[in-house]
Amino acid sequence: MIHPLAGYSAATISDALDRIGRPGALLGLAPIADGVRLCGRAFTVRYVPAGFPPGTVGDYLDDVGPGEVVVLDNGGRTDCTVWGDILTAMAADRGIGGTVIDGVCRDVQRALGAGYPLYSRGRFPRTGKDRVEVAEVGGPVGVGGVQVRPGDLLVGDADGIVAVPREVEDRIGEICAAITASEDAILADVLAGSSLAAARRRHGYHLLQRQEASR
């Protein structure tokens, strides 16, 4: 089943989260290619620097369900990767919704060829094996400065990615609908000959994302 928020852009959802004063836009993470979209519930994995003897980078992908989004907290590290071609091939084959990494990935050609949604801080060829290890699967993680919990909704497009806590999804959907209606009306007015200032004033453009308590 397609989630109602899948029909909105990451930018619109970010504005809606601003309206209720909740963080959600994941800073520094971008898709490895434009033209992909992502929407699904978070399956979380947290990494820490490897101990001695080092642990493993994990076999968690066996437990990820179709449509879920793998969310990897590697502490923003850019010196070693936690996602590569085997994981991409398996995830694409099993219908996993995408991967979001607070860190970097490698073997991106396979993801590009498969059209697999992959968001990260960049690309780097060096493995994370013996450099990082899985500390926890299924707990809260920090990604791009935002806490993401298992089951939170991730929505991504060419602009980036946002996380929506489950308990505010319905409210965010209502706000997104209102924002979209206002922006569509502004566009229609401008294309009909209105000035931008008048159209924005008429439809409350500068208040669309303002926190509700201060409106």
Residue numbers in the known binding site for Mg(2+) are: 107
* Phi, psi dihedral angles at 191 (to 5 degrees): -70, -20
* Phi, psi dihedral angles at 182 (to 5 degrees): -65, -45
Locate all alpha helices (DSSP H) within the chain, ordered by sequence: 10-19, 85-93, 108-114, 169-191, 196-202
Query: Do 158 and 31 touch, CB atoms closer than 8 A?
Result: yes
Annotated binding site for substrate: 84-87, 106
Annotated binding site: 84-87, 106-107
Distance CA 64, CA 70 (A): 8
Query: Do 55 and 145 touch, CB atoms closer than 8 A?
Result: no
Distance CA 3, CA 144 (A): 23
Distance CA 192, CA 190 (A): 5
